[in-house]
């Protein structure tokens, strides 16, 4: 990945955009911050992958939660387990509410 500072970017914008086309990304350093320039289709693809992964995790959490409820030995006795279960329930409830709002 090519790296530059903001002055170099301003002075050579066309060449840096060409590098984005060739290499996929360019890193720009500005004081203590770092920025990444990438093609929009790559960004969209990355965002779609993140959403797919989030949906997979939520689906797995839901499956595990449903399976645990069916087991008689799944009684929770440990306070850490109770916290973990409340967090999972909260995430699933928020996700379900979000889906219901989006479907209206």
pTM (whole model) above 0.85? no
Tens place of pLDDT for every residue, the chain, 104 residues? 667 788 888 888 888 888 888 888 888 888 888 888 899 888 899 999 999 998 888 888 877 766 666 655 545 555 556 666 777 777 777 777 765 555 44
Which pLDDT belongs to residue 68? Answer: 62
Task: Give residue limits of the domains in the chain.
Answer: 2-38, 42-103
DSSP 22-45: HHSEEEEEETTEEEEEE-HHHHHH
Among 44, 13, 42, smallest CA distance to 28 is for: 13
Domain 2-38 in CATH: superfamily? YefM-like domain (3.40.1620.10)
């Amino acid at each position: 990945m090519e790296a530059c500072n903001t002055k170099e970017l301003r002075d050579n914008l066309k060449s840096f955009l060409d590098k984005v086309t060739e290499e996929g990304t360019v890193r720009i350093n500005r004081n203590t911050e770092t920025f990444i320039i990438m093609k929009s289709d790559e960004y969209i693809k990355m965002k779609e992958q993140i959403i797919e992964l989030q949906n997979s995790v939520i689906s797995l959490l839901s499956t595990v939660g449903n399976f645990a409820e069916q087991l008689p030995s799944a009684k929770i006795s440990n306070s850490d387990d109770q916290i973990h279960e409340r967090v999972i329930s909260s995430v699933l409830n928020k996700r379900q509410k979000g889906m219901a709002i989006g479907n209206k």
